[in-house]
Structure formats: C-alpha cells, structure tokens
Amino acid sequence: MAGWPVRIDSGIMKTLNLRKEDFDPGGKYAPEWQLFDAEGQTLGRLASRIAMVLRGKTKPTFTAHLDTGDFVVVVNAEKVKLTGAKLKDKLYYHHTGYPGGLKAVNAEKLLEKKPTEVLRQAIKRMLPKNALNRNILEKKLKIYAGPKHPHEAQQPVPVSA
C-alpha cells in the first residue's frame, strides 16, 4: 500500500480554542451571576451542582485550563440538609500547627459555629486541586448563612432546585 495517495477530508470538526481574554468581564463569554438557595437542599448534591457551575462545565465554552465558570451566590447555607446520621457522625479535621494539634469537630457543631464552612468545604473538595481551585474559591464563590446578600447590583439569576 505504500505509494497510495492519502486523502485528508477537510470536513472534520474542529475544536474551539478559546483565550483568557474571551472570559474577562468585557469579553464575549463574560461570567454571569447565579443565585442558589440552600434551604432544604442535600449538601452533596447542592455542592456538586455549584462546583460544576463554578468550573464552567455547564457551558458549551468549557475549557479545562481556563476559569470559564460563573459567579455563584449561595444563601441560607445554615439550612442545608445532611442525610442519615451525618450531623452527629461526620467529622471535619483541621490542624493548629502545633505538635499534636489535630482537631476534629462534628458537622452539627460546625454548622452552629460556622454555618458557611460546611458547604464551602464540600464545594472545595469537588474542585480540582490546583491554582484554578484557589482562584475560583476566593473570587467566584460567595456563601451567606442567611437569606440576605450584598450582590443585588449584579442581578444574580436564581437557579431552580
């Protein structure tokens, strides 16, 4: 078969390669603001949906190496639901930095003390462990314990459950 001419079909679909500038606030695919209400929602299911929106996987313009996601505002984080015996049994660990300083607190006490931290940890653990994770969590995720938030000017679009 050597010597046979190889014909390349020009009707092949091409991958859309987007640049960082396309996703800047003034760009063509600028991020939007979405509002999630956590009241009565199951923690894991809500966190996975929010992580997908933050990452940009719900958009056709998803690009793995760029931050293509939307801004997310979460209200009523203190009313998130944990199934089964997770309120009593699920432990959250942190280290104080001192020898023997590994501390554990169950979900019930953490919800009382820091109601937004339970949801933030769940979302953080569903994002990639790289620089995109840190950028997304710091800049694009806003979590509030109660129903009020200071982002009315951005006109966040409510997301149905």
Cβ neighbour number for residue 112 with a 10 Å cutoff: 10
Compute the C-alpha angle 59/61/66, nearest 5°.
105
pLDDT tens figures, 117-127 = 999 999 999 99
Domains of the chain, residue spans: 29-82+115-158
Distances 115 to 12, 59, 110, 118, 145 between C-alpha atoms, Å:
51, 30, 7, 6, 6
The pTM score is 0.86
pLDDT of residue 27: 78
User: What is the fold, at CATH topology level, of the domain defined by 29-82+115-158?
Assistant: Ribosomal Protein L13p; Chain: A; (3.90.1180)
For residue 5, pLDDT beyond 80: no
